[in-house]
């Protein structure tokens, strides 16, 4: 009899730690499949708009972080920290190419619509391409044209998504509030939570813990 494991992940596209956390999750899942090949994983991604007050046109990236962190040295140290963590996860994040801090409401609405129309594997491709557009190519995820091009590359017709790309800074309201403390945030089988871009080993341990709890419940039922 196969077992199942549900994983809910809360994220925002502008958060480099979310992409880093995604890579660590992928590593953990690869090991889980070796440890428990019979486990069926249900993975759900939930958008969280970290900056709902961001103007529709976004803000200059460098200016945003300078205001947020207070000094050029603080920005340099933070970006070095991100680059180091990204490299450890096998990622190359090019922050120098990012010109604008975007409003991500429409990007989240696009992902939400995609979840209604596409298979999970296709949604995963869309998520990956949206992350890559921002962190690898420095594209503006607040621009409708950018989002439509990415959507079409993943098999979505413009007519199916254009209405959710409002471009007016209307905040994105997700269905979950579990990530109020920050992103990335992981919930395993609705009982075990992990916050932050934790190493794959931490995520794997949480998976094992959730599976053990489910197995114990099954024995006591």
Residue 151 maps to which CATH number? 3.40.30.10
Quote the CA–CA distance of 161 and 126 in Å, as a whole number: 13
Q: What is the pLDDT along the chain (221 residues), one digit of tens a residue?
A: 578 999 999 999 999 999 999 999 999 999 999 999 999 999 999 999 999 999 999 999 999 999 999 999 999 999 999 999 999 999 989 899 999 999 999 999 999 999 999 999 999 999 999 999 999 999 999 999 999 999 999 999 999 999 999 989 899 987 555 556 689 999 999 989 999 999 999 999 999 999 998 877 765 44
For residue 137, what are the domain limits?
3-220
Burial class (CB in 10 A: 0-12, 13-18, 19+), 155: middle
> Please, which residues have CB within 8 angstroms of residue 110's CB and are 6 or more apart in sequence?
126, 130, 147, 151, 161, 164, 165
Residue 127's closest CA among 189, 43, 53, 55? 43
- CA 137 to chain centroid, in Å, comes to 17
Q: How many domains does the chain have?
A: 1
Quote the CA–CA distance of 13 and 131 in Å, as a whole number: 6
Quote the CA–CA distance of 193 and 159 in Å, as a whole number: 38
């Amino acid at each position: 009899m196969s077992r199942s494991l549900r994983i809910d992940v809360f994220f925002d596209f502008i958060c480099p730690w979310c992409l880093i956390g995604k890579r660590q999750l992928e590593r953990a899942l690869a090991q889980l499949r070796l440890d428990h090949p019979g486990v069926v994983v249900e993975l759900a991604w939930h958008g969280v708009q970290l900056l709902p007050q961001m103007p529709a046109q976004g803000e200059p990236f460098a200016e945003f972080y300078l205001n947020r962190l207070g000094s050029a040295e603080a920005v340099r140290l933070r970006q070095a920290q991100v680059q180091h963590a990204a490299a450890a996860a096998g990622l190359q994040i090019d922050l120098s190419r990012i010109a604008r801090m975007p409003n991500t409401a429409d990007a989240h609405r696009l992902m939400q619509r995609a979840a209604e129309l596409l298979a999970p594997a296709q949604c995963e491709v869309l998520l990956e391409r949206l992350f890559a557009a921002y962190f690898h190519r420095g594209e503006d995820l607040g621009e409708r044209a950018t989002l439509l091009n990415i959507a079409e590359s993943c098999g979505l017709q413009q007519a199916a998504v254009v209405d959710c790309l409002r471009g007016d800074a209307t905040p994105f309201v997700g269905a979950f509030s579990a990530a109020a403390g920050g992103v990335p945030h992981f919930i395993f089988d609705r009982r075990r939570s992990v916050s932050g871009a934790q190493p794959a080993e931490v995520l794997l341990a949480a998976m094992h813990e959730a599976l053990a709890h489910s197995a114990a419940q099954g024995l006591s039922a």
